């Protein structure tokens, strides 16, 4: 038997050998965008969305049109996705560094598990909220939330954004085209420039013209991934790879090159269907109230999404104009990301990688666009929980397949384990936790009628600022085929018949005609989350950094220092009431110190 025949025999027997051969363990390209809702082609979110490359991926893969996140805010959502563990099992509902949780640090992340199973792991951009480099073999560019407008002293909002919305700051209060700032000054008369980078370190971003400029963070990550993929195509008999690429847009600030804004003329922007007074039969605000006998103040009960919506409307002539400006920037940001995704697809589809590379595209959570007077994530309504999910699995997934049953991000990890034939045990030791999700492979093979072992509804928890979390006392929602059920921490409920009411306009929880359904959904939720008698998962202790001083500062000096810190870190105001309390300061400072000591790019809130 000659060498060629022997090698072919080994391929048939062992499933190893030639690059791109169908019997090899598949490669994985995992693409995650930040704050991306259903505003992409094929998902029905906005009729003017222009995402031809995401649509191209969908034509070659399977789209899950009712995929939902497991907690609709960045840090804990990504911790859950990459660990495959629900927040109520890990205890990670907030922004404390994910690997400080006992259960998570003793369980393997997706990339760590792939590496333990013989894969080369490569990553760049925003993947997990607090990036731990030793989870990867190779890591490129860290998280970068820019571009930011810089006035020589501090980061400010884009000059095109009017007050009072611009006063929110350089992240959540900023959107507009990336253009040259030469000759443009701040409202205070200071010359402006561009910066980009993480929260502890920034660098200048030079924009001389639309064709002569530095690359944005997403463009740099796109180029990094293209270069890595091209190099991997040349490997002969090397390890299979797991590559993660995290694009920051459409996270605020919604600033991308002007050509993407030009794709969406402002006067032509279509607005979402919004029902006047829709928020009145909801209960989200009720969990913001101050305990006690006095009536809560507006500042205490107004959460981030309500505040952003109110200030945006106040900044323009009317609500329609306000939303058009913001939606234009959001659609432009998505189009900019789509261009980078297209570059990655081009490399794979024009190389041997095409036949043996699984591609996943998703987001960490959605984003509300003024529905229920809310402009943000972190709600238990459809706009925040629903995410795009497209999965291409060559030889397994049905091209142009569409799955309409509810699934969630928790199901991605076990799906990849089955598709790549990895060890199913993802715990490092007995202190870890097994995967909570279920493999989507049956739905990839038969999108309409596949027999899936997963639950009938997608479970989502709600983030709220706490020092400690008790899973039995948090807020949750279930999204089933025809219903959404919400139970807040105070026991208030919402129920929507999503088949007849896809916008979730009519809360039926107090309608006696739906009492049977309400009780059934309530019981389903109680079976899936811990009860009051359950033990609370071990959680990190906050340890504020103690600084030795020769003389204790006076109360006025301490307040001045805290106010100065608040100005530099407005995100430290965890409950968004406009005041930084000492517990908020200590918790934020401790988390920031921990991140900086680990060499990460800290981002303690979105």
pLDDT in tens, 202-226: 899 999 999 999 999 999 999 999 9
127 is in which domain, residue-wise? 3-143+217-453
Query: For residue 197, what are the contacts with CB-CB under 8 A and spacing of at least 6?
Result: 144, 145, 146, 203, 601
Q: Choose one of 428, 453, 478: the last residue of a domain.
A: 453
> For 458, how many CA atoms within 13 A lie in the half-sphere containing its CB?
28
Q: Which residue carries 């039926």 as its tokens?
A: 508
- Structural contact between residues 97 and 540, judged by C-beta atoms closer than 8 angstroms: yes
Q: Choose one of 402, 419, 453: the last residue of a domain.
A: 453
Helix then strand then coil, % of the chain, to nearest 5: 35, 15, 50
Vertex 382, ends 376 and 384: CA angle to 5°?
25
Model confidence band, residue 301 (pLDDT cutoffs 50, 70, 90):
low
The phi, psi pair for 248, rounded to 5°, reads -80, -35
Which H or E element spans position 77? helix 74-83
Q: What pLDDT does 569 receive?
A: 74
Token representation of residue 448:
């309409």
> Count of domains in the chain?
3
- What does the pLDDT average to over 227-252? 93
Mean pLDDT of the chain: 89
101 and 190 housed in the same domain: no
- Structural contact between residues 249 and 219, judged by C-beta atoms closer than 8 angstroms: no
- What does the pLDDT average to over 559-587? 75
Of 190-194, 292-296, 495-499, 535-539, the least confident:
292-296
Q: Is residue 236, in this structure, part of any structural domain at all?
A: yes
Rounded distance, CA 81 to CA 33, Å? 13
Q: What pLDDT does 543 receive?
A: 60
110 and 199 housed in the same domain: no
Q: Is residue 519, in this structure, part of any structural domain at all?
A: no
299 and 236 housed in the same domain: yes
Token representation of residue 529:
């989350």
Q: What pLDDT does 486 receive?
A: 98
Handedness of CA 267, 268, 269, 275 (dihedral sign): positive
Q: Choose one of 437, 453, 469: the last residue of a domain.
A: 453
Rounded distance, CA 6 to CA 3, Å? 5
- Structural contact between residues 245 and 228, judged by C-beta atoms closer than 8 angstroms: no
- What does the pLDDT average to over 303-310? 94
Please report, for the domain that includes residue 292, its CATH number: 3.40.720.10
Token representation of residue 89:
């099992």
Model confidence band, residue 557 (pLDDT cutoffs 50, 70, 90):
low
Query: For residue 148, what are the contacts with CB-CB under 8 A and spacing of at least 6?
Result: 155, 170, 171, 174, 194, 195, 196, 202, 253
Q: What pLDDT does 592 receive?
A: 58
Vertex 249, ends 247 and 250: CA angle to 5°?
140
328 and 237 housed in the same domain: yes
Q: What pLDDT does 595 receive?
A: 45
Q: Is residue 477, in this structure, part of any structural domain at all?
A: no
Rounded distance, CA 77 to CA 265, Å? 33
Q: Which residue carries 């104009």 as its tokens?
A: 321
- pTM score of the predicted model: 0.86
Rounded distance, CA 388 to CA 37, Å? 7
- Structural contact between residues 411 and 454, judged by C-beta atoms closer than 8 angstroms: yes
Residue 20: which region, alpha, beta or left (left: phi > 0; alpha: psi -120 to 50)? left
Rounded distance, CA 460 to CA 274, Å? 23
Which H or E element spans position 149? strand 148-150
- What does the pLDDT average to over 81-98? 96
The sheet with strand 148-150 has its strands ordered as 155-156, 148-150, 193-197, 202-204
- What does the pLDDT average to over 479-501? 98
Q: Is residue 196, in this structure, part of any structural domain at all?
A: yes
Rounded distance, CA 417 to CA 410, Å? 13
Model confidence band, residue 293 (pLDDT cutoffs 50, 70, 90):
very low
187 and 235 housed in the same domain: no
pLDDT in tens, 99-151: 999 999 999 999 999 999 999 999 999 999 887 888 999 999 999 999 999 99
| 150 bridge partner residues | 155, 193
pLDDT in tens, 325-379: 999 999 999 999 999 999 999 999 999 999 999 999 999 999 999 999 999 999 9
Model confidence band, residue 565 (pLDDT cutoffs 50, 70, 90):
confident
Model confidence band, residue 235 (pLDDT cutoffs 50, 70, 90):
confident
Say which residue, 235 or 399, is predicted with more confidence. Answer: 399
Q: What pLDDT does 24 receive?
A: 78
Question: Which of 224, 196, 205, 32 lies closest to 110, judged by CA?
Answer: 32
- Report in angstroms the alpha-carbon separations of 411 from 51, 99, 208, 392, 406: 25, 21, 45, 15, 11
Say which residue, 122 or 573, is predicted with more confidence. Answer: 122
> Which of the 8 DSSP states describes residue 49?
-
pLDDT at 238 over 90: no
Q: What pLDDT does 602 receive?
A: 35
Q: What pLDDT does 498 receive?
A: 98
- Structural contact between residues 79 and 462, judged by C-beta atoms closer than 8 angstroms: no
Q: Is residue 394, in this structure, part of any structural domain at all?
A: yes
427 and 312 housed in the same domain: yes
Q: What pLDDT does 195 receive?
A: 95
Of 66-70, 161-165, 449-453, the least confident:
449-453
167 and 268 housed in the same domain: no
Rounded distance, CA 274 to CA 206, Å? 40
Q: Is residue 84, in this structure, part of any structural domain at all?
A: yes
184 and 271 housed in the same domain: no
103 and 120 housed in the same domain: yes
The phi, psi pair for 270, rounded to 5°, reads -85, 145
312 and 388 housed in the same domain: yes
267 and 173 housed in the same domain: no
Query: For residue 126, what are the contacts with CB-CB under 8 A and spacing of at least 6?
Result: 32, 34, 143, 246, 247, 248
Pairing of strands 357-363, 27-33: parallel
Q: Is residue 487, in this structure, part of any structural domain at all?
A: no
228 and 287 housed in the same domain: yes
- What does the pLDDT average to over 564-569? 72
Q: What pLDDT does 574 receive?
A: 78
pLDDT at 42 over 80: yes
Q: Is residue 209, in this structure, part of any structural domain at all?
A: no
Model confidence band, residue 289 (pLDDT cutoffs 50, 70, 90):
low
């Amino acid at each position: 038997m000659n060498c060629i025949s022997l090698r072919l025999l080994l391929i048939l027997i062992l499933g190893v050998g030639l690059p791109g051969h169908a019997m090899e363990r598949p490669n994985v390209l995992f693409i995650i965008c930040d704050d991306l809702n259903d505003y992409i082609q094929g998902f029905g979110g906005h009729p003017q969305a222009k995402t031809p490359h995401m649509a191209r991926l969908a034509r070659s893969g399977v789209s899950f049109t009712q995929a939902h996140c497991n907690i609709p805010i960045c840090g804990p959502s990504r911790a859950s996705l990459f660990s495959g563990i629900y927040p109520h099992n890990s205890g990670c509902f907030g922004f404390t560094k994910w690997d400080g949780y006992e259960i998570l640090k003793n369980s393997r992340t997706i990339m760590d598990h792939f590496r333990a199973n013989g894969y080369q792991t490569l990553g760049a951009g925003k993947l997990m909220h607090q990036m731990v480099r030793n989870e990867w073999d190779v890591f490129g560019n860290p998280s970068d939330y820019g571009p930011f407008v810089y006035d020589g002293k501090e980061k400010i909002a884009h000059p095109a954004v009017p007050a009072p919305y611009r006063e929110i700051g350089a992240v959540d209060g900023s959107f507009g085209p990336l253009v040259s700032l030469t000759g443009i000054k701040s409202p205070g008369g200071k010359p402006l420039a561009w910066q980009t980078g993480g929260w502890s370190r920034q660098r200048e971003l030079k924009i001389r013209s639309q064709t002569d400029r530095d690359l944005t963070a997403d463009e740099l990550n796109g180029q990094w991934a293209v270069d890595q993929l091209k190099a991997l195509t040349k490997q002969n008999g090397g390890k299979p790879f797991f590559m993660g690429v995290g694009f920051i847009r459409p996270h605020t600030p919604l600033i991308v090159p002007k050509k993407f804004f030009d794709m969406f003329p402002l006067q032509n922007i279509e607005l979402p269907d919004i029902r006047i007074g829709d928020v009145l039969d909801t209960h989200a605000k009720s969990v913001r109230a101050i305990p006690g006998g006095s009536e809560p103040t507006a500042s205490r009960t107004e959460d981030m999404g309500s505040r952003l919506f109110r200030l945006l409307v106040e900044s323009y002539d009317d609500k329609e104009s306000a939303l058009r400006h913001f939606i234009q920037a959001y659609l432009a940001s998505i189009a900019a990301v789509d261009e980078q995704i297209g570059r990655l697809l081009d490399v794979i589809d024009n190389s041997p990688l095409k036949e043996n590379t699984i591609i996943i595209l998703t987001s960490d959570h959605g984003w509300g666009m003024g529905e229920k007077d809310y402009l943000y994530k972190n709600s238990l309504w459809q706009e925040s929980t629903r995410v795009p999910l497209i999965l291409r699995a060559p030889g397994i997934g049905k091209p142009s397949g569409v799955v309409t049953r509810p699934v969630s991000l928790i199901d991605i990890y076990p799906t990849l384990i089955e598709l790549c034939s990895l060890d199913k045990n993802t715990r490092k030791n007995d202190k870890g936790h097994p995967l909570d999700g279920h493999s989507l492979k049956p739905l990839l093979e038969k999108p309409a009628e596949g027999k899936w072992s997963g639950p009938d509804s997608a479970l989502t928890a709600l983030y709220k600022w706490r020092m400690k979390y008790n899973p039995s006392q948090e807020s949750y929602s279930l999204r089933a085929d025809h219903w959404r059920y919400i139970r807040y921490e105070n026991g208030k409920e919402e129920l929507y018949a999503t088949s007849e009411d896809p916008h979730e306009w009519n809360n039926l929880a107090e309608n006696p005609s739906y009492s049977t359904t309400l009780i059934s959904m309530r019981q389903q939720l109680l079976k899936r989350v811990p009860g009051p008698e359950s033990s609370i998962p071990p959680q990190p202790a906050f340890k504020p950094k103690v600084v030795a001083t020769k003389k204790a500062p006076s109360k006025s000096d301490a307040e001045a220092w805290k106010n100065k810190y608040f100005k530099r870190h407005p995100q430290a105001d965890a409950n968004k009431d406009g005041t930084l309390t000492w517990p908020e300061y200590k918790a934020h400072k401790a988390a920031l110190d921990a991140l900086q000591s680990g060499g990460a790019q800290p981002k303690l809130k979105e």
